[in-house]
């Protein structure tokens, strides 16, 4: 195209001695041709960029296109999407179209702590299963989801992903939208989302729901909540590879992010110590080392107030202020002799708090997860950013999960759906008192600064929320 424009310019120079009418005609077609050329380059560039970043179609172009132009651009988009998808698959899943395959040594990075686990016959007995000493399964190579055969006959599947938190940060809303992806199979838990297994039910706890029976859940019961049959029966055939099972399943248990108070039930811990060596996070990584983690983090003050109302700790902003003072007083007294980690992981302290404040110490809990899981297995974003760009966040999460791209019109429809749950009690309680907000912002500030440093992103200071 550049060569063509140069030839036209040379022709103009050659014809400069021609008649005025001829010169006028050539000049009249020169600049429109240049304009059309540049516009064509711009359209192709936008199509390539949009296709590569979001894999969208041209139906959302901000200007009208003729049917012929639209068809041409859609064909370009299709070719680019095919190339990008194949490249992404090769880069993320290796030369074979094989999902998880076997766990490699590289995937076990950061698991040196397993070498110190005591699995002798004389280890301490507790009410919870000793899962740290359970032999890790070898997952089937032709399943994207971590699945294995039990007794060489029954297919069992662990979750491929988990939304780990945080309570009242939009996890239910996100999970509901994620289930609209055709390659995600819902579980059989509470709201088709929660299992309450790792930090609550496997220890015989029921968290804030004291009116529910607190019987201990076994690992086998947890596995029953995941639909292995649907994963098994959905098959695609890959050339030069054979059968492949592309579906995945997962769950969302936001209490797992912050509640590690049952660590004394893990036999490898010293029950007389103030703090644990191992938590349920280590147990999860031991059994499911490739698990993909999704974490939503909300302004810690707003999250706390919403959780306070939702869990019926209180019902008004005035009550919230009084209970915040009592909670901070309890933590301040505890931290005179112990670390904040020890205090928040002590059942008697956790049960005595007048507010669910533990979940808002984000950096403290995130460091626990980073002890067991590498950062690359975590997708972390703010609730506020998710709310501003639902479509974009879903695209990023589906990429993170290495799932096939959805059509833009379907993503757009999912993003336009109403919020799954809104705390109705908040409309009756009034807003947080200004003095409460100032007090909590000051208390959480060191933890927010540490979080921003860990994630390398100052948005996790929530300064934008403090100004609004």
405, part of any domain: yes
**ω into 166 cis (within 30 of 0):** yes
Same domain for 68 and 189, yes or no, is no
109, part of any domain: no
Same domain for 299 and 443, yes or no, is yes
102, part of any domain: no
**In this structure, what CATH number is given to the domain that contains residue 380?**
3.40.50.300
80, part of any domain: yes
- What local confidence, expressed as pLDDT, does residue 360 receive? 98
Residue with tokens 């699995």: 119
107, part of any domain: no
165's enclosing H/E stretch is strand 161-165
Same domain for 83 and 187, yes or no, is no
Same domain for 305 and 434, yes or no, is yes
- What local confidence, expressed as pLDDT, does residue 279 receive? 97
Residue with tokens 């995945």: 248
210, part of any domain: yes
pTM: 0.78
pLDDT tens readout for residues 412-457: 999 999 887 666 677 677 899 999 999 999 999 999 999 999 999 9
Same domain for 435 and 347, yes or no, is yes
420, part of any domain: yes
pLDDT tens readout for residues 253-262: 999 999 999 9
pLDDT tens readout for residues 29-73: 666 777 777 777 777 666 555 544 443 444 444 445 555 565 555
Closest CA to 387 of 299, 256, 467: 299
Same domain for 280 and 415, yes or no, is yes
How many whole angstroms separate alpha carbon 315 and alpha carbon 309?
6
Same domain for 58 and 177, yes or no, is no
- Encoded tokens for 215: 């019987």
Is residue 317 within 8 A of residue 232, CB to CB? The reply is no
Same domain for 83 and 196, yes or no, is no
For the chain, what is the domain count? 2
- Encoded tokens for 130: 């000793």
Give helix then strand counts, H and E, for the chain: 18, 9
Is residue 57 within 8 A of residue 408, CB to CB? The reply is yes
Same domain for 211 and 337, yes or no, is yes
pLDDT tens readout for residues 374-417: 999 999 999 999 999 999 999 999 999 999 999 999 999 999 99
Same domain for 261 and 400, yes or no, is yes
Residue that finishes a domain, picked among 93, 110, 137: 93
How many whole angstroms separate alpha carbon 349 and alpha carbon 326?
12
- Encoded tokens for 95: 């030369």
Residue that finishes a domain, picked among 76, 93, 110: 93
pLDDT at 84 over 90: no
Q: How confident is the model at residue 16 (pLDDT cuts 50, 70, 90)?
A: low
Same domain for 72 and 213, yes or no, is no
pLDDT at 188 over 80: yes
Domain ranges, residue 80: 2-13+21-93
Residue with tokens 């036999």: 267
165, part of any domain: yes
Q: What percent of the chain has pLDDT over 70?
A: 75
Same domain for 55 and 165, yes or no, is no
Residue that finishes a domain, picked among 93, 116, 148: 93
User: What are the start-end ranges of the E strands in 186-228?
Assistant: none
């Amino acid at each position: 195209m550049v060569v063509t424009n140069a030839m036209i310019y040379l022709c103009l120079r050659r014809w400069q001695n021609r008649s005025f009418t001829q010169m006028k005609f050539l000049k009249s077609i020169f600049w429109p041709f240049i304009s059309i050329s540049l516009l064509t380059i711009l359209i192709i560039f936008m199509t390539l960029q949009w296709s590569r970043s979001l894999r969208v179609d041209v139906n959302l172009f901000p200007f009208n296109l003729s049917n012929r132009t639209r068809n041409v651009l859609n064909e370009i988009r299709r070719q680019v999407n095919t190339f990008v998808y194949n490249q992404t698959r090769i880069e993320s899943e290796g030369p074979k179209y094989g999902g998880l395959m076997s766990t490699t040594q590289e995937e076990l990075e950061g698991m040196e702590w397993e070498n110190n686990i005591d699995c002798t016959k004389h280890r301490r007995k507790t009410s919870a299963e000793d899962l740290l000493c359970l032999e890790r399964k070898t997952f089937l190579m032709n399943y994207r989801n971590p699945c294995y055969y039990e007794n060489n006959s029954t297919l069992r599947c662990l979750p491929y992903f988990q939304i780990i938190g945080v309570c009242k940060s939009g996890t239910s809303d996100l999970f509901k939208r994620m289930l609209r992806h055709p390659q995600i199979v819902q579980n059989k838990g509470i709201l088709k989302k929660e299992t309450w297994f790792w930090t609550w039910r496997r220890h015989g706890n029921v968290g804030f729901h004291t009116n529910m029976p607190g019987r201990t859940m076994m690992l086998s019961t947890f596995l029953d909540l995941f639909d292995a049959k649907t994963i098994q029966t959905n098959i695609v055939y890959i050339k030069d590879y054979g059968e492949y099972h592309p579906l995945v399943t997962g769950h969302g248990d936001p209490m797992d992010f912050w509640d590690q108070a049952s660590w004394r039930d893990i036999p490898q811990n010293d029950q007389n110590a103030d703090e644990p060596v191992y938590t349920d996070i280590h147990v999860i990584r031991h059994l499911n080392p490739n698990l993909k983690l999704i974490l939503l983090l909300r302004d810690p003050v707003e999250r706390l107030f919403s959780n306070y109302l939702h869990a019926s700790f209180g019902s008004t902003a005035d009550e919230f202020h009084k209970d915040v003072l009592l909670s901070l007083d309890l933590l301040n007294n505890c931290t005179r002799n112990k670390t904040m980690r020890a205090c928040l992981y002590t059942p008697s302290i956790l049960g005595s708090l007048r507010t669910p404040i533990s979940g808002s110490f984000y950096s403290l809990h995130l460091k626990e997860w980073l002890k067991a899981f590498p950062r690359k297995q975590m997708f972390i974003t703010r609730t506020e950013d998710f709310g501003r760009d639902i479509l974009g966040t879903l695209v990023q999460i589906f990429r993170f999960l290495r799932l096939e791209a959805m059509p833009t019109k379907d993503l757009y429809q999912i993003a336009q759906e109403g919020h799954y749950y809104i705390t109705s009690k908040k409309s009756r309680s009034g807003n947080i008192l200004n003095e409460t907000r100032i007090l909590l912002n000051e208390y959480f500030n060191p933890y927010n600064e540490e979080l921003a440093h860990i994630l390398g992103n100052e948005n996790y200071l929530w300064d934008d929320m403090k100004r609004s």
